[in-house]
A = this chain, B = another copy of it.
Amino acid sequence: MSECSNNKKTLMFPKPTLERLKLYLALLLQEEKEYISSDEIAKKLKITPEQVRKDISYLNFVGKPKVGYHIPSLLNELNELFGVDVTDNVIVVGAGGLGTAIAKYKGFKRIGIDIVAIFDNDEDKIGTFVSELVVLPLSELQRVIKRFKVKIAALCVPKESAQEAADLLVKSGIKAIWNFAPAILHVPPGILVENEDITRGILSIKHMLEKNK
């Protein structure tokens, strides 16, 4: 495991570990107790307790033998790791079904995400409300990004216009694109793209159902 020398005492995590740490974060947000054991985490997430302990050992964090992990402290650690303790202003591009669903979703505040604007280029949508946000034209994009120091955009346009919208976002200073369009985006180096292809989950289900027939 390679170490990432950094001003903080940050370590690099194996990728699977990082994925599981997200699951631990989601799980702990649901817990109301003060302590939790590796065994309990493991049971709920259907993995082994050894793996849980190993994963947590990558964090700058120790548990109490005979008691388990102190949930608030572990949450602090995970929050810091994923930057949940810093709030990012996020914009949504595309006010269709998915875009409005994301703009309305209440669960983001808890993980340090604040949706500050939603955009569309459909005249009929511009000016209408999505929760307490007014749908803005794309001509406002650059101004809003600057004004709210927006680094992240959720891209929720049809796949035909995804690349064009991505280019515009990059030109306007966006650093990361959370891409809900089923399209492969080409972006300059240094720009982060996270593909959120909703069809992947259902493909797993179909594959499993098919296989176990």
Contact = CB atoms under 8 A, between A and B. Distances in A.
Interface of A: 4, 10, 18-19, 22, 25-27, 29-30, 44-45, 81-84, 86, 88, 90, 96-98, 100-102, 104-105, 107-108, 111-113, 151-152, 159, 175-176, 178, 182-184, 192, 194, 196-211
Contact of A176 (B30, B100, B205): B205
Give the number of times this chain occurs in the complex, counting copies. Answer: 2
Contacts of A25: 203
Given A30-B183, A101-B101, A194 B205 contact: yes
A196 B26 CA distance: 12
Contacts of A30: 159, 182-184
A184 B4 CA distance: 33
SS class, residues of chain A in contact with chain B? helix
Given A178-B202, A211-B10, A97 B86 contact: no
A206 B26 contact: no
B207 A18 contact: yes
Contacts of A206: 82-84, 86, 88, 111-113, 152
Contact of A22 (B44, B159, B203): B203
